[in-house]
Amino acid sequence: MCCVISAALKFIVTIVNLVLGLAFVALAIVGILLKTSSGFIQSIVRKIFDSAQDKLSSEEVDTIVKFIGENSTGISAICIVVGSVLAVLCFIGFFASCCGCTCLLKIYAILLCVLLVAQIIFVAVIFSDKEKYGNYVVLAMEQLLKEYNPATDKGKSAAVLWDLTMQLNGLCCGLDGAGDFSGTPYNPNAPSVCCGNTTTLAPGCTIAAATALPSPVVGCRTKILDFAVKNMEMVMYIFIAAILLQGLLLALVIGAIYVQKVSPV
């Protein structure tokens, strides 16, 4: 009976590590593609926004792709480093379990335990304050708003991203209203959504006209905060699922070690 349990644990640990190792290799490849392939980014952008009511034009997609390409260094580096390190860790577990090396399997269990504790601390610190996380996103959008100007190459990326924000899931204008655009190169103009138009291509909207409306278009602050919190929760659930999976894997590895099926070095 002990041999059957040991063989089952060994098989599960081997397969799980192989699958996770390949998945993390794929993550590292995605990081490389984010940095080197505009076509890959373009396909992702189109898939994300294809479900939107207003489809993106080719020019808007190209602008977003360019913006992401210019600002993807951090994300791509994280994907490459995390993917590579965790892939190596998983393959260590794979070979340790497959080859029956007790010493290597113990090292793998220690590394997995350290990683598990680090992830628990990370989740507790980052996701414990939803309001603080949402304010970081709002601050980033506020800095981007200062560059808003669809008439220039420098401001076009900010304009496309803000236009999408202001149109998706109901109209909104700036962070707190049309007055926010007085601090942008687009002053004295304002996006047409600020005047209640359903498209940013409609001409003739100014900050003065938008603020003089009987019922001015509300700002996007609440929408951005809600979006940030909603996506923060999704990311948090992904991390929690990963932690639970690693905890289960650690339990299986410890079980395989103490059943003493694997051969000592």
Phi, psi (deg, nearest 5) at residue 260? 65, 40
Question: How far apart, in whole angstroms, are the C-alpha atoms of residue 65 and residue 45?
Answer: 7
pLDDT on residue 124: 84
Tokens found for residue 85: 């390190």
Please list the pLDDT of the chain residue by residue as tens digits (265 residues): 556 666 777 778 888 888 888 988 998 888 888 777 766 666 766 666 655 545 556 666 666 666 666 666 677 788 888 889 888 988 888 888 877 777 888 888 898 899 899 989 988 887 777 777 778 888 888 888 888 888 887 777 788 888 888 887 788 998 998 889 988 888 888 888 888 765 544 467 888 888 888 888 899 998 888 888 887 878 788 888 888 888 888 888 888 777 755 444 4
What is the C-alpha end-to-end distance of the chain, expressed in Å? 24
Could you give the CA distance from residue 187 to residue 216 in angstroms, rounded to a whole number? 18
Ramachandran bin of 174, using left for φ above 0, alpha for ψ from -120 to 50, beta for the remaining angles:
left
Q: Locate tokens 């860790």: which residue?
A: 89
pLDDT at 60: 61
* CA separation, residue 246 to residues 10, 14, 47, 97, 111 (Å): 16, 14, 31, 16, 11
φ, ψ of residue 179 to 5 degrees: the values are -60, -20
Q: What are the counts of helices (DSSP H) followed by strands (DSSP E) for the chain?
A: 9, 0
State the pTM of this model. 0.63
pLDDT of residue 25: 92
pLDDT of 123: 84
